[in-house]
Chains A and B, each alone.
Chain A
Amino acid sequence: MTVLAVDVEKQLGALHLRMHFLAAGGATALFGPSGAGKTSVVNMIAGLLAPDRGTIALNGTALFDAAAGIEVPPYRRRIGYVFQEGRLFPHLSVRQNLDYGRRMSGQPRDGNEFDHVVAMLDIAHLLDRRPGKLSGGERQRVAVGRALLMRPRLLLLDEPLASLDAGLKREILPYLVRLRDEAKMPIVYVSHLAAELRRIATTVVRVSAGSVVASGGLELLDEADADAAI
């Protein structure tokens, strides 16, 4: 089973970020208020941001190790990343966007896998369009498909529903639950909304002001609600 081990430290302006957690199979929620450092940690896992100190390892292999001077560049990590704003390439069609990761990592074309992902996310009718004309929900589904089709070892989703209204969220969540159950890789799911995470998370890492304050099961989401009520 794939295991992600994160133990990092970084000074980000006024925020001293210091996080230590594990993520194994299923969907691990990084849960906490805005500004807690969730996105920064996810960027560190992807290789887009270097920690000041610490280690990040996937299946026992270091992706980052400050002491040993190891920093694997993002393009060699094979970690899928779904960004909050989708970040689809505007100059490429949806099909080319979906194919981008496979092409760049030099993997052979697999028509079955492509068709399967396209069907699961229900984006077959969008393939020849350009991202500029997609709705928010369509864009995020394509972004999920693009990350999946690079065959990542780990999937990062950073507030993938944050830019969508309630109706679209209800529309996309089932796709993500299906993804969790069908994909064979662990998922790290960042959100500040307990309701959203209750649907998708299997374990919860609660963060606040740059630190992990608790980790465990879904009951942590209820505690957070109770905290918020006080």
Chain B
Amino acid sequence: MANLLDLSPGEWTAVALSLRVSLVATAVALPFGVAVGWLLARKNFWGKTALDGLVHLPLVLPPVVTGYLLLISFGRRGPVGEFLYDYFGIVFSFRWTGAALSCGVMGFPLLIRPIRLALEAVDRKLEDAAATLGANRMAVFFTVTLPLALPGVIVGVVLCFTRALGEFGATITFVSNIPGETQTISAAIYTLMQVPGGDQAASGLVLIAIAFSFAALIAADWLGRRATFRFHGE
């Protein structure tokens, strides 16, 4: 066991990079996820079906296709990528930021679904009560709606984070597999497997990946139960 986890410095770099990419991807996606989840749960507008389809597309498209689409739009010569570089100096292609972008896009449908369902389940009558007590719409959202939807938000965050940790196809297509920059755990395992006898070397990273996924599931369960308990507890 001890020598199974005896990772090389390069492998530790991949682990640290994976965590950073997944955390940033989830943190940046979260406010967008809440906003889009709220729009889909509460509003009727022209193009709602199209928006719903668009955010769920990464779930059904081959990841390679998602990566390709990201490359042609967010690459340095892509329309979005060029704009972001010219005006904000943000570069995605072949950087860890690009890995975070592709992980966020891939995790987005998993983030939105539970948030949307939780927002739909919030009792609108409680929001009315808050309004009569002097809370404007923004205050109602942050003091009543969002706290009541919290268990769903937690589930969404964990699903998005674990999806980001495991992301492979879109990331490698978009930002390649550069050690120290875009080589996440999945990509590192893939690289090791290309070498004869590499399955032995990959086993440490595989164990780490399993441990992270388990930890995330347990954390989600615990946080979710705590949040639900708050509504019924003493």
Chain A residues engaging chain B, CB cutoff 8 angstroms: 46-48, 73-81, 83, 85, 87, 89-91, 100-101, 104-105, 128-130, 132-133, 146-147, 150
Given A89-B144, A104-B133, A132 and B233 contact (CB-CB distance below 8 Å): yes
Q: B230–A130 contact, CB under 8 A?
A: yes
Q: A48–B128 contact, CB under 8 A?
A: yes
Q: Min CB distance, B136 to chain A, in Å?
A: 5
Q: Which 8 A-B pairs have the closest CB atoms?
A: A105-B134, A101-B133, A104-B134, A87-B129, A74-B131, A104-B135, A81-B132, A90-B231
Given A83-B125, A83-B129, A87-B125, A130 and B135 contact (CB-CB distance below 8 Å): no
Q: Which of A100, A105, A133 contacts B234 (CB 8 A)?
A: A133
Q: Which B residue's beta carbon lies closest to that of A81?
A: B132
Q: A89–B232 contact, CB under 8 A?
A: no
Q: Which A residue's beta carbon lies closest to that of B125?
A: A87
Contact of B65 with A by CB under 8 A: no
Chain A residues, CB < 8 A from B232: 90, 130, 132-133
Chain B residues, CB < 8 A from A83: 125, 129
Chain B residues, CB < 8 A from A150: 133-134
Chain A residues, CB < 8 A from B143: 100, 104
Task: Show 15 residue pairs from A and B whose CB-CB distance is below 8 angstroms, ordered by the A residue.
Answer: A47-B131, A74-B132, A75-B136, A79-B132, A81-B129, A87-B126, A89-B130, A89-B144, A90-B148, A91-B150, A91-B231, A100-B130, A105-B133, A105-B134, A132-B233
Chain B residues engaging chain A, CB cutoff 8 angstroms: 125-126, 128-136, 139, 143-144, 147-148, 150, 230-234
Q: Which B residue's beta carbon lies closest to that of A105?
A: B134
Q: Min CB distance, B43 to chain A, in Å?
A: 18
Q: Which B residue's beta carbon lies closest to that of A46?
A: B132
Q: Which of A48, A76, A81, A132 contacts B231 (CB 8 A)?
A: A132
Q: B132–A104 contact, CB under 8 A?
A: no
- Complex Cα–Cα for A25 and B219 (A): 56
Q: Which B residue's beta carbon lies closest to that of A77?
A: B132
- Complex Cα–Cα for A91 and B63 (A): 40
Q: B132–A130 contact, CB under 8 A?
A: no
Q: Which B residue's beta carbon lies closest to that of A74?
A: B131
Q: Min CB distance, A221 to chain B, in Å?
A: 28
- Complex Cα–Cα for A83 and B234 (A): 23
